[in-house]
A and B are shown apart, each in its own frame.
Chain A
Amino acid sequence: MAAIASDHGHGHGHDEALHHQFEDMEQQNDSYIVGMWTFLVTEVMFFGALFLIYTLYRSMYQLDFYLAHKVLDTRMGMINTFVLLFSSFTVAMSVRFAQLQNRMGVLAMLGITQICAGTFMVIKYFEYQEKFGHHLYPGPGFGSSPSYLNGASPNFAQLYFGLYFGMTGLHGLHVLIGMIVIGYLMAKWWRNSPMVTKDYIPTELVGLYWHFVDLVWIFLFPLMYLMPKP
């Protein structure tokens, strides 16, 4: 194989945000974006498997799932969806501000996003608390207040609530991780770290992640809260 030494040397030192393994910022940014998308593909498969399980069980036990789902508070779910959609918008705006290197803009937008995420978690907390109070958490005590089952078979209702807690729980975990990451990013912006101010990509990556969290909820909400009557 023929190989000669290339003329252009390292891109070292040109840019504070450039890592040593890359030639230039373009290559680095591209790599990060592609890497993030491959990661999101794994996330799609991760949640996809859960959606598959849910689809199968719901098609098997339509009526029971329908009856069991009535306990959920659609209003709360709606509010949460609005909150997440809005936070997606603010995150997208923060990326825009990062591109324009508008530090205060980024911080403001990310701050609003954090507030939205917090609201989401608080609402989720109250929802969970209510379910726990009604003995709707799967396990030994499940269904000891049968009136909340709306006549659904306790077995199949347990399946439903197992999936409900499993899926929304994992989603909530993603929200929580998102909050931590956004907090970290905000700290970086606050301290004017060149890692974020010289390069909008970290902000963009966090944004992509956050949109993905929103995406999962877009499917979770109608599937869990808005079942048509079989």
Chain B
Amino acid sequence: MASTPLSSDSKHGGHSHIINPWVLFFNMLWLMFLLVITFIASEFDFGNVIINNVVAMLIATVKAVFVIWIFMGVMHASKLAKIWVVTGFGVLFLMFGILGDYATRQYEPVSGWETNVPNNGGSAFPREWPPQKKPEQVGENFRPRG
């Protein structure tokens, strides 16, 4: 506890790290390359819509990591900045826990819910056990807003 806070928190900072322009340039090229990959991957079918979506998001995440790490300079930033980046995305991830609600609703052992609902245009996934394929959603439940 003897160290003063100013020195413990700020190993970096004042003397900034000047980044090599070629690193920036190649990072940009690499990101553009990944962009093309994103496009190609979206045309390509990996066998399953979930996998397709996951692939798309993985590539986007890789791109994001490169933007954050190199363009935003987190590579050379203080530990504190790194902690904030991780916390921010960590809590965002936590918030996606909201989806857990929707994902588990269908397993609720509530009798009566499973009676045939022609269209689940409402708020919830169908509550069926075992979960069955969702009914076709196209073109039904049409009520234009006035």
Q: In the complex, given contacts A37-B80, A204-B73, what are 12 additional A-B residue pairs having Cβ atoms less than 8 angstroms apart?
A: A29-B13, A33-B13, A37-B77, A40-B88, A99-B18, A153-B137, A207-B72, A208-B72, A211-B72, A218-B63, A228-B49, A229-B49
Residues of B within 8 A of A60 (CB): 102, 125
B68 at interface (Cβ–Cβ under 8 A)?
A: yes
**A-B residue pairs in contact (CB < 8 Å), sample of 7:** A34-B78, A44-B88, A88-B31, A153-B139, A153-B140, A222-B60, A223-B60
Return the CB mask of B1-38 against A: 1 if under 8 Å, else 0: 00000100110111110110100110110011001001
A1-60 interface with B by 8 A CB criterion = 23-27, 29-30, 33-34, 37-38, 40-41, 44-45, 48-49, 52, 55-56, 59-60
Given A219-B60, A222-B59, check contact A52 B99 (CB 8 Å): yes
Overall SS of chain A's interface: helix
A63 with B138: in contact, given A49-B95, A55-B96 (CB under 8 Å)? yes
Task: Show the binding face of B for A, using Cβ within 8 Å.
Answer: 6, 9-10, 12-16, 18-19, 21, 24-25, 27-28, 31-32, 35, 38-39, 42, 45, 49, 52-53, 56-57, 59-60, 63-64, 67-68, 70-73, 77-78, 80-81, 84-85, 87-89, 91-92, 95-96, 98-99, 102, 121, 125, 136-146
Number of A-B contacts (CB under 8 A): 178
7 tightest CB-CB pairs across the interface, nearest first?
A: A26-B14, A228-B52, A41-B88, A226-B42, A30-B13, A89-B28, A48-B92
Q: How large is the interface on A (under 10, 10 to 19, 20 to 34, 35 or more residues)?
A: 35 or more
Contact yes or no, A142 B145, CB < 8 A: yes
Question: Which residue of B10, B56, B91, B121 contacts A45 across the interface (Cβ within 8 Å)?
Answer: B91
A92 with B24, Cβ < 8 A, contacts A30-B14, A143-B144, A228-B52 known: yes
A119 interface contact, C-beta 8 A: no
Contacts of A152 in B (CB 8 A): 138
Contact present for A222 and B42 (CB under 8 Å):
yes
- Docked-complex contact B145 and A92, CB < 8 angstroms: no
Contact B39 A78 (CB under 8 A): yes
Partner of A26, one of B10, B25, B28, B49: B10
